[in-house]
Amino acid sequence: MDFGIKNRLSRIFNPKTGKTVMLAVDHGYFQGPTTGLRDMKNVIPLVPYADSLFVTRGVLRNCIDPKTDTSICLRVSGGPSILGELTNEDITTSMEEAIRLNASGVGMSIFVGAPNEDRTIANLGRLVNEAERYGMPVLAITAVGKDMARDARYLGLACRIAAEIGAHFVKTYYCDDFHKVVEGCPVPVVIAGGKKIPETDALQMTEDAIKAGASGVDMGRNIFQSDNPVGMIKAVRAIVHKGASAKEALEIYKKR
Ligand code: R5P
């Protein structure tokens, strides 16, 4: 890996802990004004607590303070909406744009076992080819269709394929036997939070994922849809970077 990729990755993964708390706020790219993100002003107080913001260029340009210290990981895929065929994604944002926006990484989804798996995986390969020319790390997101099992066998398959195609890190969902997913993937794995669940459960999932070898989170709804989003991101940080237990983190979440 060259200096540029390593240097950008160190803006996403805290060099002191080797882990990351990414705040995912890209949901609008196919869901429109998602609960909690309708007014992006709600996100602003959370940004300083994130190592990296996972965001589209549209929200970045219009809603985020360019003076932020938080690094940017840019979602560069899209196409379909929730009303269409979700797997039908392509690359929507150029590498030139990612560099102009001073992104520290770019991310796109692949749809393993779904209608457009071959095209989305080939697109990942093309994105990696281009990104490596400019020293830009690529995050592959293993999107899971409604009918797919979220188990270690399937998620392990999807993560391994993403790494084999060249992704520098991978985002997937937590599952039982998550250590098997991590062990089978030669690049860092971070977890998405998924649908909103009670804070206690989301914090327990974070603790379990870190213990199983996850390199952090790229979490959205379980932070910005919480009744105390700042408390929640601080709590998640404590688990990821300080090795706090879910029980200890819950006390941080409860503080107003
Ligand atoms: C999908 O909409 C995006 O890739 C999200 O960034 C990802 O699912 C993480 O967000 P959440 O924690 O809400 O699942």
Q: What is the pLDDT of residues 182-204, one digit of tens each?
A: 999 999 999 999 999 999 999 99
Active-site residue, 171 included: yes
Q: Atom 9, ligand 1: which residue's CA is nearest? A: 192
pLDDT at residue 256 in the model? 73
pLDDT for 103-114, tens place per residue?
999 999 999 999
Q: Give percent of the chain above pLDDT 90.
A: 96
Instruction: Give the pLDDT of residue 109.
Output: 98
Looking at the CA of residue 109, tell me the nearest atom of ligand 1: 4
Confidence at residue 6, expressed as pLDDT on a 0 to 100 scale: 98
Cα-to-centroid distance, 219 and ligand 1 (Å): 6
What whole-number distance in Å separates Cα of residue 48 and Cα of residue 173?
A: 24
**Whether the CB of 51 sits within 6 Å of ligand 1:** no
Ligand 1 pocket member 236 (CB < 6 A) = no
Dig out the tokens for 249 from the structure.
């983190």
Helices (H), the chain: 3-12, 28-31, 57-63, 95-100, 117-133, 152-165, 178-183, 199-211, 221-224, 229-242, 246-254
> Predicted confidence band at 97 (pLDDT cuts at 50, 70, 90)?
very high
Strands 20-24 and 216-219: parallel
Interatomic CA distance for residues 123 and 218, integer angstroms: 22
Query: Which residue minimizes the CA distance to atom 2 of ligand 1?
Result: 27
Query: Of all residues in the chain, what percent carry a pLDDT higher than 70?
Result: 100
User: pLDDT at position 182, please?
Assistant: 98
Alpha-carbon torsion (142, 146, 150, 156), positive or negative: negative
| pLDDT (0 to 100) of residue 145 | 77
Per-residue confidence band for 37, with pLDDT thresholds at 50, 70 and 90: very high
| Helix/strand number for the chain, H first, E second | 11, 10
Ligand 1 centroid–CA 220 distance in Å is 6
